[in-house]
Chain A
Amino acid sequence: MPAVVTAIERACRRLLGAADAAANRLYGWRYNPLYQSGTIVVAMFLVLIGTGLWLLLFYRVGDPWGSVARLTANPWTGNWVRGLHRYASDAAIVATAIHAARMVLQHRFWGPRALAWFSGLVLVGLVLILGWTGYVMVWDTFGQRIAIEGARLLDALPILSEPVERAFTGERALPGAFFFLNLFAHVALPLGLGLVLWVHVSRLARPTLLPPKRLGWTIVGLLTAVAVAWPLSMAPIADPFFRPATVPADYFFAFWLPFSRDIPADYAWIGGGLAVLALLLVPRWNRGERAHRPASEVDEAICTGCWQCFHDCPYDAIRMLERHDGRADHVARVTPDLCVSCGICAGSCAPMGVGPPGRTGRDQLEEVRSFLGSPERVPGEIIAITCAHGALTSGPALRAAGAVVYPVDCAGNLHSSVVELGIRAGAGGVLVLACPPRDCRNREGPKWTGERIYHDRDAELQARVDRRRVALAYAGPGEASEAAQAVARLQAAAAALAVPEPDADLDLVAACEATAAVEAS
């Protein structure tokens, strides 16, 4: 990738991190709307279906502008529903833009996840067409303007024998069939939207489709409040014999109009085509180094057939096959075409028999042993295990707070034995700094890590580890002060305890294998 693009991307990522951190402070990570951008789009889609069905009851294809004007004049059951319908569609566009930007900047669409990117582009196209049909339905001056511009662009394609533009010249009255077709498209397209949405999330094991109720209802409430407090008005009826200077436009759906209207239609298509091509190629030029990492592998001699990696994999990339060698009933098998090498399975396997090459639990133990064996280590210090995607950017703040930083690829990959080994080596405490759960690059890392540390999810942190010396905190990029505060809290807790004695006698690999064997039996 050219250096300038990399620099721009890095600057944008820093901006996104700062925005995320600010939103986390204001709303908390659970209700951070930037994290929930994808689910907000789905919530708005549901609002649009609900309000759209209501508006449909009053719409007349024989009198489009008149029927909408009557609806708009009704403050009780008309105007605010129409306002909510419009604002929900706008909010969906805003959330879609944020969602797409996040995915691009976080490199979350290469390999098997490219399907989500391509289907996402189709969804955006469908939403824009839906918006176009929705505004044409009203047949006011704005609807007429985008209809004429749409027809002009369409007529540049050699696909129709009769130019569509002719319908809007005033030669004859616009037929009801035009509005019927438009209405049909406006009602039928959401069905296609639902289908593409299913494809969009099909590579995910447990897609989250809706935001937390509190956030979802807050957004709907705010949009409703604005629709009531600032009622929509009707623009003048479309008139082919008058060219208005301005029209009240919805810029979320008509953003293209100022660009296209002053250039020949051919150029508009070429420009639009190039933009779409660039978007289609995004997964190709924006893969990053991680895209080249190998898929996870299973060491079948170690696998106990416990199914935990199968349950934890966020991408359904692990299957459980029957086994006939007398070792266990089943054995895990990775489907490389679906694996994105996220490494979540490495943290889920008690005997450390699965994971991407070089990043299995055993590899992690090797690495942390060499880290702990360094002469720089001091008994009683706080080790901050930082996720490369998030808290690693807070390294200087963590060191300033007195912690020693141990970076890992993803906190969700972390095998609990690494934490145990840190404590056994004499650390005063081990702080796992994961990304906020809704912002995990590997979807469910912080959730599984939390359950492994606190709720005995396989591969759990063993009971023999003093929980007072272990903490899990969430900190995304740009949340250095939160990370430092978490260090201070753990330091205070550890200070109340006796200085730990290093105890490296236990063979953790053997202990994990023994635990897994007992659990499997």
Chain B
Amino acid sequence: MSIRPLAVLGAALAVVGTVGTAALSRAPLAAYPDDSPVLRLAWSVRPERIERCRTLSDAELADVPAHMRQRVQCEGRSAAYRLAVTVDGGTVVDTVVTGGGARSDRPVYVFRELAIPAGRHAVVVRFEREPMAGVDSTAGDSSAVADAAADTLMAGRVGREAEERTRRQGEAVPALMELVTDVRPLAREVMLVTYDIDRRALVLRTRDDAP
């Protein structure tokens, strides 16, 4: 049986095509061309809600439908925060961040990757609530307000409202957080600055203490 040259060429082309496909399937791709270490700022926190509160009189409360009656009525907005980062004394980030969503009342999400040279650096990360004019969350103290009669739907409502406001404030991020640290990253290493919810503070994490 003779072997046709075209058949050999066809088989060779098929093999080359298949091997080429396999080669392109595992070819090296430049993932991160820059070999600098990176200081990654990543956290998500609930912004503090800054409110102007007012205690409603009995007459005002009577005008509101029964299921919507709240003795202390608060209006306000979520706080904005200034994020400032300095490396060896030089400012590399200075910006204001707000919560997500159309009303900025969703959590504040911070994600920045800052390339820094390998070696020792003094890093300061500061996250501070921006001052907000015209709002006062201490107004509307309801402690002096008499609670409704024990046999009505409104019984204990005043206390529950106060509790709810306190809980919400506790969930919010502190008004000021500052991380002052020295870092010594290697090439391509990522150092993470994040929010520790238990310590309610910014912390530095590396591969060694990753969760």
CB within 8 Å for A26 and B10 given contacts A230-B22, A239-B207: yes
| Interface pair A145/B25, CB less than 8 Å apart | no
| Interface pair A248/B190, CB less than 8 Å apart | no
Tell yes or no: B101 within 8 A of A by CB: yes
Per-residue interface assignment for chain B, residues 167 to 196, with 1 indicating a CB less than 8 Å from any chain A CB and 0 otherwise: 000000000000000000000111110100
**Count the A-B residue pairs with Cβ separation under 8 angstroms: how many?**
129
Measured CB to CB, the nearest residue on chain A to B109 is A163
Tell yes or no: A457 within 8 A of B by CB: no
| Interface pair B189/A247, CB less than 8 Å apart | no
A163 to chain B: which residues have CB within 8 Å? 109, 111
- The size of the chain B interface, using a CB distance under 8 A, is 44
* A: interface residue count bin: 35 or more
| Interface pair A246/B30, CB less than 8 Å apart | yes
| Interface pair A94/B13, CB less than 8 Å apart | no
Tell yes or no: B107 within 8 A of A by CB: yes
Among A26, A170, A241, A248, the residue within 8 A (CB) of B26 is A248
Tell yes or no: A171 within 8 A of B by CB: yes
B13 to chain A: which residues have CB within 8 Å? 26
Measured CB to CB, the nearest residue on chain A to B13 is A26
Tell yes or no: B28 within 8 A of A by CB: yes
- For the complex formed, measure the closest distance between the CB of B45 and the CB atoms of chain A, giving whole angstroms: 12
Per-residue interface assignment for chain A, residues 461 to 503, with 1 indicating a CB less than 8 Å from any chain B CB and 0 otherwise: 0000000000000000000000000000000000000000000
- For the complex formed, measure the closest distance between the CB of B82 and the CB atoms of chain A, giving whole angstroms: 20
A242 to chain B: which residues have CB within 8 Å? 188-190, 207
Measured CB to CB, the nearest residue on chain B to A87 is B22
| Interface pair B42/A166, CB less than 8 Å apart | yes
| Interface pair A247/B25, CB less than 8 Å apart | no
Tell yes or no: B206 within 8 A of A by CB: yes
| Interface pair A240/B190, CB less than 8 Å apart | yes
| Interface pair B192/A245, CB less than 8 Å apart | no
| Interface pair A162/B44, CB less than 8 Å apart | yes
| Interface pair A170/B31, CB less than 8 Å apart | no
| Interface pair B107/A241, CB less than 8 Å apart | no
* Of B33-41, B58-66, B121-129, B135-143, the one with at least 4 CB within 8 A of chain A: B33-41
A142 to chain B: which residues have CB within 8 Å? 29, 31
A161 to chain B: which residues have CB within 8 Å? 100-101, 106
| Interface pair B29/A26, CB less than 8 Å apart | no
Which residues of B line the A interface, CB within 8 A? 6-7, 9-10, 13-15, 18-19, 21-22, 24-33, 35, 38, 40, 42-44, 100-101, 106-107, 109, 111, 188-192, 194, 205-207, 210-211
Which residues of A line the B interface, CB within 8 A? 25-27, 83, 86-87, 90-91, 94, 141-142, 145, 161-163, 165-166, 169-173, 218, 222-223, 225-227, 230, 232, 239-252, 254, 257-258
